[in-house]
Structure 1
Amino acid sequence: MDIYLGIIFRTTVIYLVILILFRMMGKREVGELSILDLVVSIMIGDIAVLSFEDLEKPFLRQMIPMLVLAFIQILLAFISLKSVRFRNIVDGTPQIIINQGKIDEKAMRKQRYNFDDLLTQLREQGINDLNDVQFAILESSGKLSVIKNNQDKRSKIDETPFPLIVDGKIQESNLNKIGKNHFWLRHQLKKLGETKINEISICGYIDGEFYIDKNETKK
């Protein structure tokens, strides 16, 4: 009888602890979990199972690894918020698979992404004709984001689906994709009255128009 009571007690406590830990680690959809999120989730699950295999071991000692993993995950998430470079290393960066209607085979090989994957994800979004796609971006979560061609089929060379500034940092690679550099960006922002790039949370540029959101905490 004591064994069954012990199992019930441990199950209840572990359930509550895991629920609290995952709430602390932040909200993400399953399909948007980063590699770190996935690894930590699997490890916490394995540790939880091990706690039932030997009821003779102190329960608190078996809970410590779960708490340590949660602490590491929260710490790394905090570092990711502060460092774009670290975030790119951990989560990866989006890749343009279709650019202005042209498939980038090099980017596909780099991501080990084949044409079957591409066509499947396009069909899931109701797209059967590649000519209808202006941009297709493989997100770091593995999801394919698609920007369709406009009905008038205009080619917008100045459009970019990626931000030019993130967390106060200029994204040089995204500027290169539209044939611009940081001198051009600074000049355009200066005309808009924006001289402090470190105060900009995100800056997007599409169809010749800028979208700017400023970080109010840095004022």
Structure 2
Amino acid sequence: MFISMFRTLILYSVVLVSMRIMGKKQIGQLEPFELAVAIMISELASLPMQDPKIPIMHGIIPIITLLFFQVLLSIIQLKSEKARILINGKPNILINHGEINIDEMKEQKYNINDLMEELRLKGYHNINDIEFAILESSGQISIIPKLDAANVTRKDLNIKGGRNIIPVTLILDGKLNIKNLNYINKSEKWLYDKLKENKISSAKDVFIAYLDSEGNFHLQKNKNERGK
């Protein structure tokens, strides 16, 4: 038992020192290759802990090897921007001047529901309030709001008004959401009238249509439709 405790303590110390050497960035947010290194280190450390028959050096040596290459890659990235892009990738603009970049969303396998969730978590309810939404190489979303969407409250401006509502998606990638239409007590005819106002004859030509938090209707056409 004491041997297992001693082995565990040694491996824990090696992993802890390795993570500290990798730097605070490694601990705070993981880039793709850093995530792979962290998973491999945890796996290498767990095997000698679970099986006393495995020599402890069979765990320590691979961990130190991974640490060496991780530090080497970090130094290379500091010296070369091309290497940094090759290893970590580059940021991707998902919203550009208030308009969703459909091609980028598809390429990054990022769906509209996840994007809307990230916007809400950062305090923005409407896509048209966003100048840029950038998917960073760490997987986090950075938001740059439009200048007229500053965080000023109604109370600051002494404005009285009704309550905001939850933004509701009505059309997504050409498909109607009947459930959400019923939720806002609107008919399909009302929605198609809105499309006609925007010179659109079919929901298939719409990438997204929604009501914002103030009840205003917004839509964005599919890429092919915009190109006509």
TM-score of the pair, normalised by structure 2: 0.62
Q: Which runs of 5+ in 2 are unaligned?
A: 151-228
Letter in 1 for 2:106: R
| Distance (Å, rounded) in 2 between the aligned partners of 1:92 and 1:6 | 44
TM-score by length of 1: 0.64
Change (3 A) 1:91 1:49: same
Per the alignment, in what secondary structure is the counterpart of residue 25 of structure 2? Answer: coil
Q: Identity percentage over the alignment?
A: 41
State whether residues 31 and 141 of structure 1, in contact with CA within 8 Å, keep that contact through their aligned partners in structure 2: no
Equivalent of 1:36 in 9, 33, 38? 33
Aligned position for 1:111: 108
Q: Matched residue of 2:24: which SS?
A: coil
Q: Take 1:152 and 1:58, find their aligned partners in 2: how far apart are those partners?
A: 60
Unaligned runs of 5+ in 1: 154-219
Q: Please say if residues 19 and 26 of structure 2, whose CA atoms lie closer than 8 Å, have aligned partners that are also in contact.
A: no
1:25 pairs with 22, 27, 38, which one?
22
Q: Superposition pairs for residues 161-200 of structure 1, below 5 Å?
A: none
- Matches of 2:24 and 2:77 in 1, distance apart? 15
Q: Residue 90 of structure 2 contacts residue 137 of structure 2 at CA under 8 Å; is this kept in 1?
A: yes
User: Structure 2 counterpart of 1:11, which letter?
Assistant: T
Question: Do 2:34 and 2:70's aligned partners in 1 also have CA atoms closer than 8 Å?
Answer: yes
CA shift, 1:62, in A, is 2.9
User: Stretches of 4+ moved more than 4 A in 1?
Assistant: none
Q: CA deviation at 1:31?
A: 6.6
What does residue range 1-219 of structure 1 map to in structure 2 within 5 Å? 4-28=1-25, 32-151=29-148
**Count of aligned residue pairs for this structure pair:** 150
SS at match of 2:148: coil
* 1:57 Cα deviation after fit: 3.6
- Choose 58-67 or 29-38, whichever is displaced more: 29-38
Residues in 2 aligned to 1:22 and 1:131: alpha-carbon distance in whole angstroms:
41
In structure 2, C-alpha distance between the alignment counterparts of 1:127 and 1:19, rounded to whole Å: 38
Letter in 2 for 1:77: S
CA shift at 1:138, angstroms?
0.9
8 Å contact from structure 1 (residues 122, 128) kept in 2: yes
